[in-house]
Amino acid sequence: MPTLHSKILGEGQPLLILHGFLGMSDNWKTLGNKYAEEGLQVHLIDQRNHGKSFHSTEFNYDILANDIKQYIAEHNLQNCIVLGHSMGGKTAMQLACSYPELVNKLLIADIAPKFYPPHHHEIINGLKALDLNTISSRTEASNELAKHISNAGVRQFLLKNLYWVEKGKLAFRFNLDVLAERMEQIGENIDASATYNKPTLFLRGDKSEYISPLDTDTIKTHFPNADIQTITNSGHWLHAENPKEFLEKSLTFIKS
């Protein structure tokens, strides 16, 4: 089985960071360096069909969690702390529930253990409308994407995935065709009977609707030892929108 691509920073207890849908490990580089400075060995991991990791038609949370299990074995890691955002948070939850012996602490960023209806159609359609055979620059790609996606921050986030395959030829690092087909799987919940009893922290953005007060009972059912805290002045990309508070609250939990 292919190995997941990762960037490893620092030395100490392993902290595995799992990016969200259409993201990649590079999205966490700045915070990753901060965690490394605090004495952690940070593993910024590209999940399958994302970043520099392998592409595959097989894609669901059991498979994604098993990828991380294999990664932990390959790198001979012990007492891992696992941090996941959005889709990566679902992977992290499934990993902790399926293989609790591998996860010492769990940190989930702005996602709850529940089903989310597919809601990325606008983004997928915008990306599919780009003809990378005729687009010859990032600026041109951004201008074309703006016709479909008005939010400049979202466009910038997506276009970080563009790279030069060869001179004059751009491509996306993520596997757009498979991810577009698997939209239902992205929203799926973890297994109904899944539980993880070790320390868990859910961080939610105060402007985000991904975790609501109504989700507390569901979170506690799956994660009885969970604490839920709010990051101010932030939406779904809370780690990028308020990195200072995110770092402070996550480090307090990690070091407690």
> How many separate helices (H) and strands (E) can be counted in the chain?
11, 9
* Cβ 120 vs Cβ 214: under 8 Å: no
* Cβ 202 vs Cβ 219: under 8 Å: yes
Residue 62 burial by Cβ neighbours in a 10 Å radius (0-12, 13-18, 19+): middle
Residue with tokens 């609501």: 212
* Cβ 67 vs Cβ 49: under 8 Å: no
- How far is C-alpha 197 from the chain's CA centre? 22
Distances (CA, A) of 132 to 106, 129, 140, 219: 39, 9, 10, 42
Which residues are designated catalytic?
Answer: 86, 177, 236
Distances (CA, A) of 216 to 73, 151, 204: 33, 30, 12
